[in-house]
A and B are shown apart, each in its own frame.
Chain A
Amino acid sequence: MNNILSWIVWLPIAAAVILAFFPRNAVTAIKSLGLGASIVTFGLSFVVVQLFQDSVATFQFVESHTWIPQWGIRYALGVDGIAIWLVMLTTLLTPVVFLSSWNAIHKHPKEYVIAFLIMEAAMIGVFMATDILVFYVFFELTLLPMYLVIGVWGGANRIYAAIKFFLFTISGSLLMLLGIIYLAFLQYHDVGRPDFSIAHLYGLSIPMHTQAILFAAFALAFAIKVPLFPLHTWLPDAHVEAPTGGSIILAGVMLKMGTYGFLRFCLPLFPDATAKYAKLMIILAVIGVIYGALVSWVQPDMKKLVAYSSVSHLGFCVLGIFALNQTAIEGSILQMVNHGLSTGALFLLVGVIYERRHTRMLADYGGLAATMPLYATFFVITVLSSVGLPGLNGFVGEFLILAGSFKTHPTATIIAAAGVVLAAIYLLWLVQRVFFGPVTKEENRSVPEIAWNEVAAMVPLVVLMVWIGVHPNTFLRKMSPSVQKLMTTVQKGGQRGQVMVAGALTRRSAAPSPRGRGIWQRGPLPSGEGGRRPGEGR
């Protein structure tokens, strides 16, 4: 069981490779194998959760093999309290996708299943990688399958949406690659040998202005992925055009790669820059919360409504992260999971009705509660979870975020809290317009009720919504030590940064620091010597 994480990553890929040799028309066998593989992967990740030691803050189930020895890159995996629930979320949502699209995909079902399996593996790899370059490789690997999922199985305007999604994301991540390379150089000059291990990189002390540039490079990539307010424009297009399964994974997991990236890299690696730019990020996050909610309010298209609500909800997550205290960050991680569950479920449900009526316009619906009572029940529960009704999962996450961030940024918190109210308005209004009132269209009288496979996909999501809402400690317990460790890293970094700034000020009359060169300046990087100042411990 030493390499259970590798099993989780490679099992979907192995299944995808096997599927590639399946005959094209064995549709049921293909779907079954895909579903089976994703369920086994879920089972394995469940084992990981069971064996996960709550009190350990560092990476667990660690495995590490030499990959590219010349650069010191190791194929290194591990999970900590931050990553584990996101891994779990990924392995849960993939079978949900397969179940929900069981009868919905008629075009190239084989390629559909393969794309989702590869995407699952890559996303799990992103959350599990403990080597920064392995992280990058998996981060990029998620792109192509999602591009094809949107582009091949998407709606009318799918090519535009797919290319927009791809280009937005890749421009960010390529800049991150430069940041990674520069970080690797800093590490090389610090310890004298190439090392890309995330845990080792945490030990770097980087001068403030370098931190600022690197923070920008990383934060841009993640902010596009989240997406943070001015960079969000790809998201509605991608969601509207993507097939239901693609939307579930995109909203459920892929956006979390951005918030996870903030937690894993931006905060602990560049604590000083984080402290400096936290305010900016929070402002953007709050704008996102309000803007997303307001735009959702006026959407005539259900899917677009849910897509913009994602911008709003992810704004909460970013707010929690940059509030920089334990409560808010824990709430933020929990909110990532919550958003994955409830928005994933919402996209699923929108997909269900779109399958039946082939329209997503709110005006085409009304009074569905009478024709589809079970469907309406699921929908209402999901909406309530998304709104943040006490007793369901959304409440816990949002409460923790707001409670945490109120300590540090009260004004922003109060404005963001208005987002909760707005969410209640637009989501409940959505329910009102779709399910209640008189039946205005004849077609709505005879819509078939939600089918077995869709129920099977919804049930685990609803169970988890209630579970998190009632007993969040199951989840918080496992993440607490890791978050605590993260906070110590951030705070220590902050203090160290202050020491460094003070030191630099007193030494200004002396020779300029050799490390004080920015990425922009000409001339080779200093070598030898090392970046650590004397007397400065880790």
Chain B
Amino acid sequence: MTWNDVVFMLPEIILSIGASLLLIAPVIGWRLKEASAKWAILILLAITALSVVICSNVVEGLPQTVSYSAMFALDGFAIFFKLLFITAIAMIVLLSDDFLRESRYSAWEYYSLLGFALIGMMFMASGVHLASIYIGLELMSLSSYILTGFFKNEQKSTEAAMKYFVLGTVSSGILLYGISLIYGVTGSLNLLTIAKAMSTIITNDALMFGIMLLGAGLCFKIAAVPFHVWTPDVYEGAPTPIAAFLSTASKGAAVAIFARIFYVGLHDFQLDWSNILATISALSMILGNLAALTQDNVKRMLAYSSIGHAGYVLLGILSLNAMGLRGVLIYTLVYVFANLGIWATVLMLRRHEYAGERVDDFEGLHKRAPFWAFAMIIFLLSLGGIPPTAGFIGKYFLFAAAIQSGFGWLAIIAVLMSAVSMFFYFRIVVAMYLREGREAEVAITPALKLVAGVCLAVTLIFGILPAPLINQATESSSWVAARAAILTHAGR
């Protein structure tokens, strides 16, 4: 433990102190307005983001790339995801503002829980050791269980939290069991050591079982079939901004550790796990997209679509090549922004309690808010992977990665399911543009405008000029790619 170690973790330390302060500030007698909570957390997030940037620059000058007994890395991959998560949480704070104002629950508590979840996600992004990854995952999960049931008096919310909690802890247990089996065989929890130990192992049933359990636990977190059953109920029941959090930031963090563990730690066993993941990926894409067809509730539809997207992201993980790794980074970013944009639009339609949740509520939106209706089309196209939106770039990488590693059949399923997904995405477009009669009631606040505007800009700019994003993804993935023994310059 040296000062260098502190530098590695400084953003998390700052955020921990800040989030703790947010939690206790209102209860120790400081007279604070509810409205200032969002400013406090936004300033805290800005400081954290700034410290991530500064610390990453300092770390570049240091001889070591990992710290805390090789448990914690601040490489490009970690920085990429940390900044993405901070941005996502900041946008979720903006989405939550109105929602909280109408409720009688403490905004301070809510935001501090979001802060704790963010600490967990940042740990996950940085973790190169199964223990630190697991701790980060648990911190994030526990915070999100509470946030899901944050509106204690709403039955749906409580029910969702209960389901999420029970299933989530079971999956954490499975994950932990997998980790312990891997530890038993390889003698280490450090991903690099695990990889080294694995290179000498030809076959080992306990190890395979461990990898399977680990994969199952992670698949639960990213909501892949057959570990997806919690998703629609939880998204539907959770407060809408928390559903947005679960479907974007929380899922992104799970994808990050999924990629890191399988690329860095388990790459030698790719032939064994890639087929299992391919099956899971195919099932997720098929079931997620087909089930979404029949949903009338937008939150449930987005939940099923997010199951489908978990399947797409798995393409990048199971193909284990430079294209796939970059695809995971790009797709996660693109998906987070497009999805947050959609959630922002859903919240625009919110009035009273539950509106904006049914597809019908979008009817005639283009008359009331033509610009945001157009933005919604762009987000939906991006999720469907249609050019010239950023989603096309992400899908291109994932499809190319699958083809490159010989999973052509999976790529074909993926495109067919993309076409299916356009059908239910376009139900919203149909409602917004083509149905006559009702005019959607909207409550567009500056905060929602800001979120949707940022998401629109990102989705369009990276769709039309993807070169900087691709460069960034290549650079950010270089540490992981080098450890996974894949060439960064291979492919395009």
Question: In the complex the two chains form, is A523's CB within 8 Å of B406's CB?
Answer: yes
Stretch at the interface among B223-231, B332-340, B418-426: B418-426
Partner of B415, one of A144, A148, A175, A520: A175
> Do A68 and B470 contact each other (CB < 8 Å), given the known contacts A148-B433, A166-B422, A178-B415?
yes
In whole angstroms, what is the CA distance A167 to B433 when docked? Answer: 17
Is A237 among interface residues, defined by CB-CB distance under 8 A? no
In whole angstroms, what is the CA distance A519 to B400 when docked? Answer: 12
In whole angstroms, what is the CA distance A148 to B118 when docked? Answer: 41
Q: Mark A493-536, 1 if CB is under 8 A from B, else 0.
A: 00000000000000000000000001111111101000000000
Question: A174-B419, A181-B400 known; 5 other A-B pairs, CB under 8 Å?
Answer: A67-B465, A70-B492, A162-B434, A185-B404, A525-B403
Chain B residues whose C-beta falls within 8 Å of the C-beta of A56 in the assembled complex: none
Question: In the complex the two chains form, is A141's CB within 8 Å of B388's CB?
Answer: yes
The 7 closest A-B pairs by CB, nearest first: A519-B408, A174-B415, A71-B492, A171-B419, A137-B387, A151-B434, A194-B492
Question: In the complex the two chains form, is B403's CB within 8 Å of A178's CB?
Answer: yes
Chain A residues whose C-beta falls within 8 Å of the C-beta of B416 in the assembled complex: 171, 174-175
Residue of A nearest to B396 (CB): A181
In whole angstroms, what is the CA distance A523 to B416 when docked? Answer: 22
Is B255 among interface residues, defined by CB-CB distance under 8 A? no
Residue of B nearest to A154 (CB): B434
Give chain A's interface secondary structure class. Answer: helix
Task: Output the least CB separation between B210 and chain A (Å).
Answer: 24
> Do A70 and B433 contact each other (CB < 8 Å), given the known contacts A177-B399, A181-B403, A185-B403?
no
In whole angstroms, what is the CA distance A137 to B466 when docked? Answer: 13
Task: Output the least CB separation between A17 and chain B (Å).
Answer: 12
In whole angstroms, what is the CA distance A162 to B423 when docked? Answer: 11
Is B467 among interface residues, defined by CB-CB distance under 8 A? yes
In whole angstroms, what is the CA distance A184 to B491 when docked? Answer: 10
Give chain B's interface secondary structure class. Answer: helix
In whole angstroms, what is the CA distance A130 to B208 when docked? Answer: 49
Question: In the complex the two chains form, is B470's CB within 8 Å of A170's CB?
Answer: no
Is A159 among interface residues, defined by CB-CB distance under 8 A? yes
Chain A: how many interface residues by the 8 Å CB criterion? 43
Task: Output the least CB separation between B398 and chain A (Å).
Answer: 10
Question: In the complex the two chains form, is B406's CB within 8 Å of A69's CB?
Answer: no
> Do A188 and B403 contact each other (CB < 8 Å), given the known contacts A68-B470, A140-B387, A167-B423?
no
Chain A residues whose C-beta falls within 8 Å of the C-beta of B404 in the assembled complex: 185, 524-525
Is A155 among interface residues, defined by CB-CB distance under 8 A? no
Task: Output the least CB separation between A420 and chain B (Å).
Answer: 37
> Do A144 and B433 contact each other (CB < 8 Å), given the known contacts A188-B491, A524-B406?
no
Chain B residues whose C-beta falls within 8 Å of the C-beta of A141 in the assembled complex: 387-388
Is B36 among interface residues, defined by CB-CB distance under 8 A? no
Residue of A nearest to B487 (CB): A527
Is A36 among interface residues, defined by CB-CB distance under 8 A? no
Chain B residues whose C-beta falls within 8 Å of the C-beta of A152 in the assembled complex: 433-434
Chain B: how many interface residues by the 8 Å CB criterion? 39
Chain B residues whose C-beta falls within 8 Å of the C-beta of A147 in the assembled complex: 426
Chain B residues whose C-beta falls within 8 Å of the C-beta of A523 in the assembled complex: 406
Q: Mark A173-193, 1 if CB is under 8 A from B, else 0.
A: 011011001101100100000
In whole angstroms, what is the CA distance A140 to B433 when docked? Answer: 20
Question: In the complex the two chains form, is B492's CB within 8 Å of A178's CB?
Answer: no
In whole angstroms, what is the CA distance A71 to B419 when docked? Answer: 24
Chain A residues whose C-beta falls within 8 Å of the C-beta of B467 in the assembled complex: 67-70
In whole angstroms, what is the CA distance A175 to B412 when docked? Answer: 7
Is A472 among interface residues, defined by CB-CB distance under 8 A? no
Is B41 among interface residues, defined by CB-CB distance under 8 A? no
Question: In the complex the two chains form, is B388's CB within 8 Å of A137's CB?
Answer: yes
Q: Mark B450-492, 1 if CB is under 8 A from A, else 0.
A: 0000000000000001110011001000000000000000111
Chain B residues whose C-beta falls within 8 Å of the C-beta of A171 in the assembled complex: 416, 419
Is B179 among interface residues, defined by CB-CB distance under 8 A? no
In whole angstroms, what is the CA distance A148 to B430 when docked? Answer: 9
Is B354 among interface residues, defined by CB-CB distance under 8 A? no
- Interface centre among A70, A158, A194, A521, by most B CB within 10 Å? A70
Residues facing A in B340-361 (CB within 8 A) are none
- Interface centre among B404, B407, B470, by most A CB within 10 Å? B404
Is A466 among interface residues, defined by CB-CB distance under 8 A? no
Partner of A181, one of B399, B471, B490: B399
Question: In the complex the two chains form, is B419's CB within 8 Å of A158's CB?
Answer: no
Task: Output the least CB separation between B435 and chain A (Å).
Answer: 8
Chain A residues whose C-beta falls within 8 Å of the C-beta of B418 in the assembled complex: 170, 174
Question: In the complex the two chains form, is A159's CB within 8 Å of B430's CB?
Answer: yes
Residues facing A in B381-418 (CB within 8 A) are 381, 386-388, 392, 396, 399-400, 403-409, 411-412, 415-416, 418
Is B447 among interface residues, defined by CB-CB distance under 8 A? no
Chain A residues whose C-beta falls within 8 Å of the C-beta of B419 in the assembled complex: 167, 170-171, 174
Is A43 among interface residues, defined by CB-CB distance under 8 A? no
Question: In the complex the two chains form, is B400's CB within 8 Å of A185's CB?
Answer: yes
Is B10 among interface residues, defined by CB-CB distance under 8 A? no
In whole angstroms, what is the CA distance A522 to B405 when docked? Answer: 8
Question: In the complex the two chains form, is A167's CB within 8 Å of B415's CB?
Answer: no
> Do A151 and B403 contact each other (CB < 8 Å), given the known contacts A68-B470, A70-B467, A178-B411?
no
Task: Output the least CB separation between A145 and chain B (Å).
Answer: 11
Chain B residues whose C-beta falls within 8 Å of the C-beta of A527 in the assembled complex: 490
In whole angstroms, what is the CA distance A158 to B416 when docked? Answer: 24
Chain B residues whose C-beta falls within 8 Å of the C-beta of A151 in the assembled complex: 430, 433-434
Is A295 among interface residues, defined by CB-CB distance under 8 A? no
Is A203 among interface residues, defined by CB-CB distance under 8 A? no
Chain A residues whose C-beta falls within 8 Å of the C-beta of B387 in the assembled complex: 136-137, 140-141
- Can you sample 8 A-B contacts with CB below 8 Å? A159-B430, A163-B426, A166-B426, A170-B422, A175-B415, A178-B399, A178-B408, A520-B409
Is B377 among interface residues, defined by CB-CB distance under 8 A? yes
Is A391 among interface residues, defined by CB-CB distance under 8 A? no
Chain B residues whose C-beta falls within 8 Å of the C-beta of A194 in the assembled complex: 492
Task: Output the least CB separation between A237 and chain B (Å).
Answer: 15
Chain A residues whose C-beta falls within 8 Å of the C-beta of B465 in the assembled complex: 67
Residues facing A in B313-328 (CB within 8 A) are 321
Question: In the complex the two chains form, is A178's CB within 8 Å of B434's CB?
Answer: no
Residue of B nearest to A107 (CB): B436
> Do A167 and B405 contact each other (CB < 8 Å), given the known contacts A70-B492, A181-B400?
no
In whole angstroms, what is the CA distance A143 to B384 when docked? Answer: 13
In whole angstroms, what is the CA distance A184 to B404 when docked? Answer: 11
Residues facing B in A208-242 (CB within 8 A) are none
Question: In the complex the two chains form, is B377's CB within 8 Å of A144's CB?
Answer: yes
- Interface centre among A141, A170, A182, by most B CB within 10 Å? A170
Residue of A nearest to B387 (CB): A137
Residue of B nearest to A193 (CB): B492
Partner of A525, one of B406, B411, B412, B422: B406
In whole angstroms, what is the CA distance A143 to B466 when docked? Answer: 22
Task: Output the least CB separation between A166 and chain B (Å).
Answer: 7
Question: In the complex the two chains form, is B406's CB within 8 Å of A522's CB?
Answer: yes
In whole angstroms, what is the CA distance A35 to B474 when docked? Answer: 46
- Interface centre among B321, B415, B418, B467, by most A CB within 10 Å? B415
Residues facing A in B361-382 (CB within 8 A) are 377, 381
Question: In the complex the two chains form, is B430's CB within 8 Å of A163's CB?
Answer: yes
Residue of B nearest to A171 (CB): B419
